[in-house]
Amino acid sequence: MSTLKLPIYLDHNATTPCDPGVMEVMLPYFTEQFGNAASRSHSFGWQAEEAVDYAREQVARLIGAEPKEIIFTSGATEGDNLAIKGVYEMYAAKGNHIITCVTEHKAVLDTCRHIEKLGGAVTYLPVNKEGLIDLQQLEAAITPRTILIAIMYANNETGAIQPVKAIGAIAKKHNVLFFTDATQAVGKIPVDVIKDGIDLLTCSAHKMYGPKGVGALYVRRKNPRVRLTAQLDGGGHEKGMRSGTLNVPGIVGFGKAADICRQQMQEEGERMSRLRDKLENALLQLGDTYVNGSRSSRLPHVTNISFNFVNGDGLMMGLNKDIALSSGAACTSASMEPSYVLKALGVEDELAHSSLRFSIGRYTTEEQVDFVIAKVKGVVEQLRAMRPIG
C-alpha cells in the first residue's frame, strides 16, 4: 500500500520548504531572544548581534567570502537592485554602461531598464540554444564606459550554468566589476567568489531550505574594494549599505540553511541529479519531447521539457491537482505570454507553452518521481490522442 501524499512538490526553483533544523534554530529568536541586533546597551541586543555575526560567518563560508563582505537583505530582488543601482551611482564618474543578458531574472532586467531611464546604457547579450552567452560577444561589448557586467550564475527556468569563471576573468582583464545573481546556484553547486572572480553576488535563503524574506549581497572588500551607494537610507545598518532593523530570526535560519547546504551539497546533488535524469529520460521516451537549455552545463536538480503536439493549458490542468510545477507560460505571475527565457533560446511559442520545469528537492523521493513519470506520460498521451489530425 503506497503512502504517497499528493500533491507532489516539484517546484523547488520557486521556493523550498524550511529544513526542520533551520526552524529549530530560528524559534528562540522570536520569543526569549527577541532583541534588536542594533541595541548595543543590553544583553538582548548583544545576543541578537552575536547570532547575526555567526550567521554572517556561515553564509560567507558557503561562498568562500569573508564575513565582513556579507550584507543581509530582504532577498535576492533587493540584492540585485542594491548591486546594480549602487554600482551605477557610485561609479558614475567612470562610466554608465552595464552589460547583462536577455535571460536574466526580472529583478535584474527591470533594474537595468530603470538604469536606462536614468540615462544609463545597457547591452543585453543574446544566448545560444543552450541558454549560454558567447564570451567573445561579451568581451566585444565592453567599452571604456563599462562599469558592470551582470550575468546570472544559473538560470531559474532551465538550470543552465553560465561560464562564470571565464566571465570573471574577462571582467578583471578590462577592469570592470562582475556581479552575478547566484540565487539558484548557491547551496546547490560549489560557488567560490574568489576562484570565480566575482565582485558582487546575490543569494536568497528561501531557495536553499531557509526562510523567505531574507537574502544576502556579497560585496568584495579587496582586489578590488567594491563600493556601493546605499538605496535605503536610515540608521546606517549593514556598514551603511542597507539600513533597517535586521530580521534576526530569518538571518539565523539563513545561516543554518547555508551550513546544511555546505555539508550536504555533494551527496544531495548526486542524489537529485540521479532522480532528475530518471525523470527526464523516461519522459523523453514519449517522443516529440525536448529538453530546453544545456544538458551538460546545468544545475543537478532541474530539467525543462517541452512536449510537442500538446496544448499547454490542457497540460497544466491535467497535472496541477497532483503535481506542483512551473509551466513555460512565463514565470512572471499571471501572464500567459510564453516564457521570455525559452523564446531567447529559440523555442517556438507553441513549444514554450507546452513546456514544464521540474525542479527536484531535498525531500523528493524515488516513489514520487515514479508517480510523476506515470502521471505526465498519461496526460501527454491523452492530450495527443485528442488532437485533431491534419
Residues with Cβ < 8 Å from 116, sequence gap 6 or more? 122
Torsion of CA 56, 227, 89, 99, to 10 degrees: -80
d(CA 147, CA 90): 10
Q: DSSP letter at 213?
A: S
d(CA 368, CA 376): 12
Angle, helices 312-319 vs 366-386, to 10°: value is 140
Measured at the CA of 385, the angle between CA 380 and CA 386, to 5 degrees, comes to 100
Cβ–Cβ < 8 Å for 206, 15:
yes
Cβ–Cβ < 8 Å for 36, 48:
yes
111's grid cell = 533594474
- The DSSP-derived string for 301-349 is TEEEEEETT--HHHHHHHHTTTEE-EESS-SSTT--SPPHHHHHTT--H
CA distances from 68 to 37, 52, 357, 389 (A): 16, 12, 36, 64
Please, which contacts does 287-291 make with residues 24 or more away whose CB atoms are closer than 8 Å? Answer: 289/380, 290/351
Cβ–Cβ < 8 Å for 171, 199:
yes
Burial class (CB in 10 A: 0-12, 13-18, 19+), 127: buried
Residue 101 known to be catalytic: no
Give catalytic residue positions. 331
